[in-house]
Amino acid sequence: MPSDTPEPAVDGLAARLLDAQVVYFRQQLTDPARFAALVESEITAFLDVADHLPLEEAVSRDLVKAVAHKYAVAFPVDGAIPGLVGAVAARVAAYSGADDTRLADVLDRRRYDELAAGVADLGLSHRLLQRILDSPAAEDACVEALARTVDVSRLPGRVGVAVESFVERLARTGTRRVLAANRAQADRLLLDAAQEVWLAGADRRVRDVGELIADSDIEDAVVLVFEFWRTFRESAYLQAILDEGVDEVFDTYGDTALSELLDELGVGRADLVEEAMRFGPPVITRLDADGLVEDALRRRLAPFYASPEFLAAARLADRTGDVDRGES
């Protein structure tokens, strides 16, 4: 539906020029061939400029930091966003719960083995496993689990205490030896465990996994994530790492031309044209059917034809004979 905003009053030559310009631009936007030519021309012109315009000259890092802070720190996460995330997650879970796809069809054995071997080979994985194996907490957990297998509640008081103490010492000694013996093979243990997981679950269906997740689990997870994010986003740490991330991008690509940066990101001229032609025509066609294209063009162009600048130019053209007096 056209806008209710009144257009500036134009008449005579100004009105005719406005009508002609609106018709011209509307046809350029709605005619498929002309729109395609417009897209090609504008993207070519942009890339010609982008070939010589470095990132740091196109936009400052302070402006990018301000945008990053706005959407990561200041932008509200209340309202419809948590509800929408929960609804999407619930729908995905419902689809998974009804799907017959085997887990092996999602990730085949060879790819899984490559992924598992890669994870087991990571220095981070080695350090985490060593930290766990060296941790007193890991030793205590193993000792407690072993000690609980011996029930001393039926033994006389002193005998029960003595047996419990002996079992704990024995369990602790054995645990230390087992953990020490496995430190050198920690990565192998991780890889073996990953392969066992695959063998146990490869033939299971996606829906078997989905059945483990209840709707309440999804709601609880969404609430936990958003509660964490609400607190974390206000921390000085997040704001500092946002700044560090932006600085790294500009330190690396600040002198790089925008066209080269787009190539680095895998976005070429053909991609820009393709996406413009994918979204442009259907959106513009729908807007034009409601009269919104013409309305927008008139809203943007009419003020010029009612402006002092146009009137001054028209008077000058009239005095110099550039405009036919009979048409003005």
Residue 217 lies in a domain: no
- Please check whether residues 144 and 125 belong to one and the same domain: yes
**In this structure, are 61 and 46 located in the same domain?**
no
Give Cβ neighbours of residue 191 (< 8 Å, ≥ 6 apart): 116, 117, 120
Counted residue by residue, the chain has a size of 328
User: Residue 283: inside a domain, yes or no?
Assistant: yes
User: Residue-wise over 242-257: b if at least 16 C-beta within 10 A, else e?
Assistant: bbeebeeebeebeebb
**Is 312 a member of any domain?**
yes
- Asked if 186 and 130 touch (Cβ cutoff 8 Å), the reply is yes
Give the model confidence (pLDDT) of 47-95 as tens digits.
999 999 999 999 999 999 999 999 888 887 776 777 888 888 888 877 7
- Residue 326 C-alpha from the chain's centroid: 61
The DSSP secondary structure of 67-93, one letter per residue, reads HHHIIIIIS---THHHHHHHHHHHHHH
Asked whether residue 7 is domain-assigned, the answer is yes
188 in any annotated domain: yes
Q: Both 73 and 134 in a single domain?
A: no
273 and 191 in one domain?
Answer: no
Is 107 in the same domain as 200? yes
The rounded distance, in Å, linking the Cα atoms of 50 and 264 is 14
The answer to whether residue 289 is domain-embedded is: yes
The reply to whether 184 falls in a domain is yes
279 and 251 part of one domain: no
Here the contacts of 91-97 (C-beta below 8 Å, separation 24 or greater) are 93/210, 93/213, 93/215, 93/218, 96/206, 96/207, 96/209, 96/210, 97/207, 97/210, 97/211
**pLDDT tens per residue, the chain (328 residues)?**
555 556 666 678 888 999 999 999 999 999 999 999 999 999 999 999 999 999 999 999 999 999 999 988 888 777 677 788 888 888 887 777 666 777 777 777 777 777 777 777 777 666 766 776 667 776 677 767 766 766 656 666 666 667 667 667 766 676 666 666 665 566 566 666 666 666 666 677 777 766 667 777 888 888 888 888 888 888 899 999 999 999 999 999 999 999 999 998 899 999 999 999 999 999 999 999 999 999 999 999 999 998 999 988 888 887 776 555 444 4
- 212, part of any domain: no
Same structural domain for residues 109 and 192?
A: yes
Residue-by-residue DSSP string for 110-135: HHHHHHHHHHHHSHHHHHHHHHHHH-
Containing structural domain, residue 272: 1-50+264-328
The answer on 280 and 245 residing in a single domain is no
State whether 144 and 156 are in the same domain: yes
Q: Supply the pTM of this predicted model.
A: 0.67
Q: Which distant-in-sequence residues (6+ apart) come within 8 Å of 81 by Cβ?
A: none
pLDDT at 325: 46
DSSP string, 197-249: HHHHHTTSBHHHHHTT--HHHHHHHHHHHHHHHHHHTTSHHHHHHHHHHHHHH
Q: How many domains does the chain have?
A: 3
Euclidean distance between CA atoms 115 and 112, whole angstroms: 5
Say whether both 172 and 238 belong to one domain: no
Q: Note whether 68 and 131 are same-domain residues.
A: no
